[in-house]
Chains A and B, each alone.
Chain A
Amino acid sequence: MPFQPMLGGMVATQSDVEPTPFRDLDVTRSDSSLRRFLHGLPGVDQVGAEQRAAALGTRSIKTSAKAFALDLAISMVDLTTLEGQDTPGKVRTLAAKAMRPDPSDATCPATAAVCVYPDMVATAKEALGSSGVKVAAVATAFPSGRAAMDIKLADTRDAVEAGADEIDMVIDRGAFLAGRYLEIYEEIAQVREACRRENGESAHLKVILETGELQTYDNVRRASWLGMLAGGHFIKTSTGKVQPAATLPVTLIMLEAVRDFREATGTMIGVKPAGGIRTAKDAIKFLVTVNEVAGPDWLDPDWFRFGASTLLNDLLMQRMKMKTGRYSGPDYVTVD
């Protein structure tokens, strides 16, 4: 009897291993093929990435450029409340602020969206009416993502049915760190399906990576690609419930990812840093990074958002300073 190699405990016969040329092996076929692809992406040197971000942070944005950046930043804010103590009243106030951030100045742009829990979507939708300000809902057992799949999908469908324009989902970081990439891919794809409305349209899906739990920039890059491959419209840094949240270097890595993804596939994906961006100065650093890393195409609320709450008031105070030439104070912006 001829020698027969042992393959995984099975006896291989000649007919079992008949070679055929393989082409177009789908990278999303299995955990191992996803792993090969994601781990084949160029690595990220932490020190170099952080120094690049720090250098971008030294750009000096003054006068007309600053005025432009402040208005742009306001228009990119997903004005957010994600607290256990949220009430319909709170959400309505937030919606009013989103539509007219500066009641004294009609030229002040509205924010991009308000971002709430699914149970507040209907309230927010009603308050925002036809203003054009979108409603984003966090779903899929936000913020930990620790629930059964059917519950996550039900969570998503509830929000969509209540009128959410955008769904901010969380990935299962445990699965990611355990290397179960395919599971995350399938999860994102299913949530994306759950975003469909009966009329054939679909809520936009933002995929929250929770980069503070992924720890390394290599992981951030891989998770970004995973989110994009699975069909997310946006990749988003954080829930805001884990520190560190949206740092400039993490956002830099994600902007590199969407830039490279567009070059590879022709598909443009948005980026949303969320959590921890509190000052206009910080926001402008992010916009500089968008401009110089992903490119000016992303300088648009359709492609870049800030998930924030207190940021808006600082943007407004800086905006008043630009208009009036004097420093403003907290009493001159609305408190929510």
Chain B
Amino acid sequence: MTTSADPRATFDYAPAPESRAIVDIKPSYGLFINGEFVDGHGKAFKTVNPASEEVLAEIAEADDNDVDLAVKAARRAHRGWSRMPGAERAKYLYRIARIIAERSRELAVLESIDNGKPIRESRDVDVPIVSAHFFYYAGWADKLKYAGYGEQSLGVAAQVIPWNFPLLMLAWKIAPALACGNTVVLKPAETTPLTALLFAEICQQADLPPGVVNIVTGAGGTGQALVGHPDVDKVAFTGSTEVGKAIARTVAGTDKRVTLELGGKAANIVFDDAPLDQAVEGIVNGIFFNQGHVCCAGSRLLVQESVADDVLHRLKRRMATLRVGDPLDKNTDIGAINSAEQLARIRELSAVGDAEGAERWSPPCDLPSHGYWFPPTIFTGVNQAHRIAREEIFGPVLSVLTFRTPAEAVQKANNSPYGLSAGVWTDKGSRILQIANQLRAGVVWANTFNKFDPTSPFGGYKESGYGREGGRHGLEAYLK
């Protein structure tokens, strides 16, 4: 190997931290009901920075009575909000979209602090799409008659969202609901309530009528109280398949409408004629974006055996350049795992991978001593029977499997109770169309991965849930 004789210093990127000064985290937060922050009556809990384990704030817990108050407020507000001309509702949503854009840096920093995701992602992905989502659905509010789903709102929507994209999931839930004339009670995840509470302030800033948006914080019990409340007309949930099933059982026999966006174990299929360098980027983006805390993550790499060694070599070389660390550092690629609980789950399933005989590999990387961290990891020698090929790990852990023929690729890809997303990489157009047709998944990324847009419907087949969020299709869940 020819190398330079000059023992030049390496190009070490100095720390480039985004300033925290822009956010003002209060010592404690209440519930947002009927346009005001009020005390909760459950047992208050703490939210921590997963990168440091520093306690950020104390958060009120909504008990059954608080949830009832929030639902009542939403019910009262529904009367006026649903009768308001769509063009007027639109203006409130446009206001919200604009305020989010104006406060984007503040929201991004707060999201990274509370969630652990890299500032590069919260700044360049999450928050811009949040603003765009409100902007997109604002425009629907006075055009519902053209959408084909009726024009009448359902009433009060109970919305429960996860911790992986706290603000983005809030936008996916609230924007279409409000555009269609519904009012909402939203419960953010226990570990990531802060941006939802800042959003409550944004609702105040936008002069949104009281009760149109209510935010109740808490854990599973609060969510159950909300979903099970007899006066909600609609339940929208994003989270685990296990909880999704429980919700489906809870609402059985009622008139509540339900949409569920649940887990996944997406196959990312790489054919031997793929644009390999971009495929490697797609694999990396597919599993390491947001620490792999992504329901549509490309967590199963299916690579054609004839190029498997080459692809793995390229993948490992690329992984060695990933920068793990401080979420607020602008050069960080992989941030902190969101919670101790999630870290334990990732460790447990990875240990199962070891025990099942798969081969684990991570690039050398120094992990911070405090906080919750897991290095980018791949398992090779995985087969369909392994738990790490079937169960959602929801972390930066990729299972690598091989295939020989297109039919085998499709068969393996579809061999899962999940069906949220899939990827396919090949330079052959007709193959793309055939494979995309045969994959049983709600989103198929061909020669790309993990792309999101307000106009693009998102949601799963099979146990990945039902209903679509985004685009014209996203209106269906909130109209009758």
Interface string of A35-58 (1 = CB under 8 A from B): 000000011110111011000001
* B276 in the interface (beta carbon within 8 A): yes
A300–B278 contact, CB under 8 A? no
Contacting B2 at CB < 8 Å: which of A47, A58, A65, A267?
A267
B16–A60 contact, CB under 8 A? yes
A42–B276 contact, CB under 8 A? yes
Contacting B12 at CB < 8 Å: which of A49, A65, A288, A302?
A65
Interface residues contributed by chain A, number (CB under 8 Å): 36
In angstroms, how far is the closest chain B Cβ from the Cβ of A240? 26
* B467 in the interface (beta carbon within 8 A): no
B276–A64 contact, CB under 8 A? no
In angstroms, how far is the closest chain A Cβ from the Cβ of B479? 34
- Per the bound structure, the CA–CA distance linking A45 and B281 in Å amounts to 11
Known: A58-B124, A59-B331. A48 touches B11 (CB 8 A): no
* A32 in the interface (beta carbon within 8 A): no
B1–A262 contact, CB under 8 A? yes
B278: chain A residues within 8 A (beta carbon):
44-45, 48-49, 52
In angstroms, how far is the closest chain A Cβ from the Cβ of B431? 13
Known: A45-B278, A58-B124, A300-B8. A292 touches B13 (CB 8 A): no
- Per the bound structure, the CA–CA distance linking A302 and B6 in Å amounts to 10
* A62 in the interface (beta carbon within 8 A): yes
In chain A, what residue has the closest Cβ to B9? A68
In angstroms, how far is the closest chain B Cβ from the Cβ of A248? 14
* A107 in the interface (beta carbon within 8 A): no
* A61 in the interface (beta carbon within 8 A): yes
Known: A44-B278, A48-B278, A52-B278. A65 touches B13 (CB 8 A): yes
In chain A, what residue has the closest Cβ to B12? A65
* A103 in the interface (beta carbon within 8 A): no
* B64 in the interface (beta carbon within 8 A): no
* B369 in the interface (beta carbon within 8 A): no
- Per the bound structure, the CA–CA distance linking A9 and B284 in Å amounts to 53
Contacting A59 at CB < 8 Å: which of B10, B13, B273, B277?
B13
For B3, B4, B6, B278, the residue with the greatest tally of chain A CB atoms inside 10 Å of its CB is B278
B14–A45 contact, CB under 8 A? no
- Per the bound structure, the CA–CA distance linking A49 and B281 in Å amounts to 9
A69–B16 contact, CB under 8 A? no
Contacting B273 at CB < 8 Å: which of A43, A66, A296?
A43
A63–B274 contact, CB under 8 A? no
In angstroms, how far is the closest chain B Cβ from the Cβ of A319? 16
* A291 in the interface (beta carbon within 8 A): yes
B447–A48 contact, CB under 8 A? yes
- Per the bound structure, the CA–CA distance linking A236 and B276 in Å amounts to 23
Interface residues contributed by chain B, number (CB under 8 Å): 30
* A161 in the interface (beta carbon within 8 A): no
In chain A, what residue has the closest Cβ to B322? A292
* B133 in the interface (beta carbon within 8 A): no
Known: A48-B281, A292-B321, A300-B6. A43 touches B427 (CB 8 A): yes
For B6, B11, B14, B427, the residue with the greatest tally of chain A CB atoms inside 10 Å of its CB is B11
Known: A62-B16, A300-B6, A303-B4. A52 touches B281 (CB 8 A): yes
B8: chain A residues within 8 A (beta carbon):
72, 299-300
B277–A266 contact, CB under 8 A? no
Q: Which residues in window 143-195 of A have CB below 8 A to B? A: none
A296: chain B residues within 8 A (beta carbon):
10-11
A303: chain B residues within 8 A (beta carbon):
4
Q: Which residues in window 334-372 of B have CB below 8 A to A? A: none
- Per the bound structure, the CA–CA distance linking A62 and B331 in Å amounts to 11
- Per the bound structure, the CA–CA distance linking A322 and B80 in Å amounts to 59
* A297 in the interface (beta carbon within 8 A): yes
A47–B448 contact, CB under 8 A? yes
* B120 in the interface (beta carbon within 8 A): yes
* B282 in the interface (beta carbon within 8 A): yes
A291–B4 contact, CB under 8 A? no
- Per the bound structure, the CA–CA distance linking A200 and B344 in Å amounts to 65
A297–B448 contact, CB under 8 A? no
A58: chain B residues within 8 A (beta carbon):
120, 124, 330
* A274 in the interface (beta carbon within 8 A): no
* A268 in the interface (beta carbon within 8 A): yes
A44–B331 contact, CB under 8 A? no
In chain B, what residue has the closest Cβ to A266? B1
In chain B, what residue has the closest Cβ to A267? B2
In angstroms, how far is the closest chain A Cβ from the Cβ of B68? 46
* A256 in the interface (beta carbon within 8 A): yes
* B221 in the interface (beta carbon within 8 A): no
- Per the bound structure, the CA–CA distance linking A299 and B6 in Å amounts to 10
* A99 in the interface (beta carbon within 8 A): no
In chain B, what residue has the closest Cβ to A252? B277
* A287 in the interface (beta carbon within 8 A): yes
B2–A268 contact, CB under 8 A? yes
- Per the bound structure, the CA–CA distance linking A49 and B274 in Å amounts to 13
A61–B427 contact, CB under 8 A? no
A72: chain B residues within 8 A (beta carbon):
8, 11
A-B contact list, 14 entries, CB within 8 Å: A44-B277, A45-B275, A45-B278, A47-B448, A48-B275, A48-B282, A49-B278, A51-B281, A52-B281, A58-B124, A60-B16, A68-B9, A268-B1, A299-B11
List chain B positions with a Cβ less than 8 A from chain A: 1-4, 6, 8-16, 120, 124, 273-278, 281-282, 321, 330-331, 427, 447-448
Nearest 10 CB-CB pairings of A with B: A48-B278, A60-B16, A60-B330, A42-B276, A268-B2, A45-B278, A45-B275, A65-B14, A43-B427, A63-B14
With A51-B281, A287-B11 given, name 4 new contacts (CB 8 A): A42-B273, A44-B275, A47-B447, A60-B330
List chain A positions with a Cβ less than 8 A from chain B: 42-45, 47-49, 51-52, 58-66, 68-69, 72, 256, 262, 266-268, 287-288, 291-292, 296-297, 299-300, 302-303
